[in-house]
Amino acid sequence: MKLRVLAGICQILATLFLLFAFCQAGAQATAAASSKDLSSYQLGVGDVISVQVIGEDDLKRERVRLSDAGTLSFPYLGEIRVRGLTVGELEAVITKGLKGRYLLDPQVTVTIQEYRNFFVNGSVEKPGGYAFTPGLTVRKAISIAGGFKERASREKINVIREDDPKGTSTRISLDAPVRPGDIITVEESFF
């Protein structure tokens, strides 16, 4: 009888162990999948961000516009170069800087409050700078700028990307994605 009870307990423990291992593998697979889905958006001059260190209200920074040098001044860490980093990378930089010397296990959250502008000029109704939103296409950007003027070309649309040091103007389609800092120019059609 004792052997049977002991065998039953062992079987239950083995089942629980397998269930635990299965759950761990699932959690790791979910974490790996979600790391692919992390934002690849790179922070730049003009973005407005908020930084929060959970449980440390004196380290909270709300609605901070990144400087013209693309930096952020942060307590204990000084000026941090932020330009070109993703939100996740900035969280890691701040966490690493605070961990050990100032906090045991800092939990840092960075959120983008406002994206920097993109610009539309040329043959559109309301040329100017507009707030970027994720998922923006050239077609949507032109709609935000009031749409095409009567003589606007739907094929002669160029963009200068903010991250292009040469400022090369490149032809793009209406369905191309727009990035913050882009300068979109809609040319006139002569026919």
Between CA 182 and CA 185 the distance in angstroms is 10
More confidently predicted of 134 and 23: 134
Q: How many domains does the chain have?
A: 2
Torsion of CA 21, 27, 32, 34, to 10 degrees: 170
For 96-126, write each residue's pLDDT tens digit: 999 988 899 999 999 999 999 999 999 999 9
Residue 14 confidence class, pLDDT cut points 50, 70, 90: low
State yes or no: pLDDT of 160 exceeds 90: yes
Show which of 69, 86, 114 is a domain's final residue: 114
Q: Are residues 122 and 101 in the same domain?
A: no
CATH number where 67 lies:
3.30.1950.10
Per-residue pLDDT at 2 exceeds 80: no
| Residue 10 forms part of a structural domain | no
Q: What is the pLDDT of residue 32?
A: 37
What is residue 67's predicted lDDT score, i.e. its pLDDT?
87
State how far the Cα of 189 lies from the Cα of 119, in Å rounded to an integer: 20
Lowest mean pLDDT: which of 34-38, 67-71, 88-92? 34-38
Same domain for 127 and 108, yes or no, is no
Residue 29 reports pLDDT greater than 50 = no
Verify that 145 and 101 share a domain, yes or no. Answer: no
Same domain, 121 and 173: yes
Range of the domain at 144: 117-188
